[in-house]
Amino acid sequence: DTGVSQDPRHKITKRGQNVTFRCDPISEHNRLYWYRQTLGQGPEFLTYFQNEAQLEKSRLLSDRFSAERPKGSFSTLEIQRTEQGDSAMYLCATQAGALDTQYFGPGTRLTVL
Amino acid sequence: AQKITQTQPGMFVQEKEAVTLDCTYDTSDQSYGLFWYKQPSSGEMIFLIYQGSYDEQNATEGRYSLNFQKARKSTNLVISASQLGDSAMYFCAMRGIIQGAQKLVFGQGTRLTINP
């Protein structure tokens, strides 16, 4: 257990519904990342927070996706109007400093029917 | 742009044997970091070992060691005395050492199966 927690672990939803995932970082880790991993692939970067500021977003993050980290602690990732192509594992990772290792949470597995 | 290539989709090894998982990378950065993560079927990415581009010695961490060849841009993971619990997906990843987002770029992974 790395100390990064994610909730829920599994989510099944119907196409067109909105879903929200939560990530709780290791205490005092001010850097937080979201990645998406589809079947048979390695994780791909979605977005990055340093404290509460969202400093970088991937082109993978369409306008249906939004992420927040309101007080620089936990973060949420929301997907609006889900599509079947959004089915994937969504991984959160946190990092203490720029040159430190990223530690991952257990992920949220999303299935869009 | 950074790129990671893992050419072995699957590896099958007998318990207690050593195994080498291949990873090559491409980057124009002068400074970078290389990582290996293990992903069991539960889905969590577990950090195994790190090599900095300026580290002169190969990294070791218990049964894990890296065969880092900078000129060939390869960083192969060696697992000694494999155990049944080593069966998992293994991902090689890299990041630049620059200001800002230290996002990881991952390869496609190698599925390792340890046979009893």
Which residues on chain A place their C-beta less than 8 Å from a C-beta of chain B?
2, 31, 33, 35, 40-45, 48, 55-56, 89, 91, 93, 95, 98-99, 101-107, 109
| B104 phi/psi in degrees, rounded to 5 | -90, 140
Per-residue pLDDT of chain B (116 residues; tens, 9 = 90+): 789 999 999 999 999 999 999 999 999 888 899 999 999 998 899 999 999 999 889 999 999 999 999 999 999 999 999 999 999 999 999 997 665 568 999 999 999 999 99
Of B4, B42, B108, the CB nearest to A106: B42
Our CA-based measurement puts residue B91 at a distance from the nearest CA of chain A, in whole angstroms, of 7
Q: How far apart are CA B33 and CA A64, in angstroms?
A: 32
pLDDT for residue A28 is more than 80: yes
Whole-number pLDDT of residue B83: 97
For residue range A49-94, what is the model confidence (pLDDT) as tens digits? 999 999 989 988 889 999 999 988 999 999 999 999 999 999 999 9
Q: In chain B, which residues have their Cβ closer than 8 Å to the Cβ of A101?
A: 35, 47, 50
Our CA-based measurement puts residue B97 at a distance from the nearest CA of chain A, in whole angstroms, of 7
Closest residue in A to B49 (Cα–Cα) = A101
Whole-number pLDDT of residue B97: 64
* Inter-chain residue contact A104 with B37, CB threshold 8 Å: yes
A77 is written with which tokens? 């990732």
* Inter-chain residue contact B101 with A102, CB threshold 8 Å: no
For residue range A85-103, what is the model confidence (pLDDT) as tens digits? 999 999 999 998 777 899 9
CA B98 to the chain's CA centroid? 21
Q: In chain A, which residues have their Cβ closer than 8 Å to the Cβ of B96?
A: none
Residues A19-24 have a mean pLDDT of: 98
Helices and strands, number each (H, E), in chain A: 0, 11
Q: How far is CA B10 from CA A82, B65, B79, B91, in A?
A: 33, 20, 15, 12
Whole-number pLDDT of residue A8: 97
